[in-house]
A = this chain, B = another copy of it.
């Protein structure tokens, strides 16, 4: 199995990407192709005494930044580490693609370079997020498609269900529709029509769910349009990060608080790990012909390693075949 990794995506590229790719190669036995400036990859590796002789590099001349327009991946930056990685995937030089770069560009590239599964209206961005009962859930769409139609949301539910079952091992995944109340008539026309479609489907649809239910792990897939999904994703992450930061500063304030931290160290560490987005590694793009995986923008080596593991699981699970058969 060969996984293509964008060496120039995210805040900590290329060093942490190189390190993560090597860790994954070692731990999971996957082959890696790094895309990006060969010269810079080699220089970074040398400077940090990292042996990258076992890794293939595909040289590219451009980088897509966080500020670039999503469609730069097709046009002005077609020789970027991201665009070239997706082209290699599409042409069969690898089995999956991982990038911690610009989410919008990844979604556009996944849709138009890697291409959609036949029947899929619009691929969805589907972050895997930790909840506070010791597990995780998928949010789809997390921001790829700001405006959605009910049929798109039904497709996200079907694809999310397949992913959670086949890749994450959840049996009969519970699907919830993000809404402003639990009653069937709640929300706008989009939610009302989607509710009817989900109810008729053979999915394990548990009904409307509210913002407060999500951290309680009430369902395995939260379905919504990309605007709502982006608001949920960022509010959720933001609040968790703010409180965890506050706890950290509380415990490092003085000697007394440091002693306290020592007494509850293992629990604090477990808690931090549970809520750590880096543990889940990121977001698969649901609905394209080959596995594309977005790692968290702030990904360090370990997150990249996890993202590569999840991409390996994504490939091995044959979830794309299942989705193709459903649509």
Q: Which residues of A139-188 are within 8 A (CB) of B? A: 143, 146-147, 178, 180, 187-188
> Cβ of A43 < 8 Å from any Cβ of B?
no
Cβ–Cβ contact B263 & A257, under 8 A: yes
A274 vs chain B, min Cβ distance (A): 8
Among B211, B227, B245, point to the contact of A237 (Cβ < 8 A): B211
Measured between beta carbons, the chain B residues less than 8 angstroms from A240 are 239, 243
Given contacts A237-B212, A241-B212, contact A226 B267 (CB under 8 A): no
Measured between beta carbons, the chain B residues less than 8 angstroms from A247 are 247, 271
A132 vs chain B, min Cβ distance (A): 4
Complex Cα gap A165–B271 (Å)? 39
Q: Which residues of A contact B (CB under 8 A)?
A: 131-132, 143, 146-147, 178, 180, 187-188, 210-216, 226-228, 230-247, 250-251, 253, 256-257, 259-261, 263-264, 267-268, 271, 275
6 contacts between A and B (CB under 8 A): A131-B242, A132-B245, A211-B236, A212-B241, A215-B235, A228-B231
Cβ–Cβ contact B187 & A211, under 8 A: no
Complex Cα gap A244–B247 (Å)? 10
Complex Cα gap A246–B267 (Å)? 10
Measured between beta carbons, the chain B residues less than 8 angstroms from A256 are 263-264
Among B212, B227, B271, point to the contact of A234 (Cβ < 8 A): B212
Given contacts A132-B243, A231-B178, A260-B260, contact A250 B267 (CB under 8 A): yes
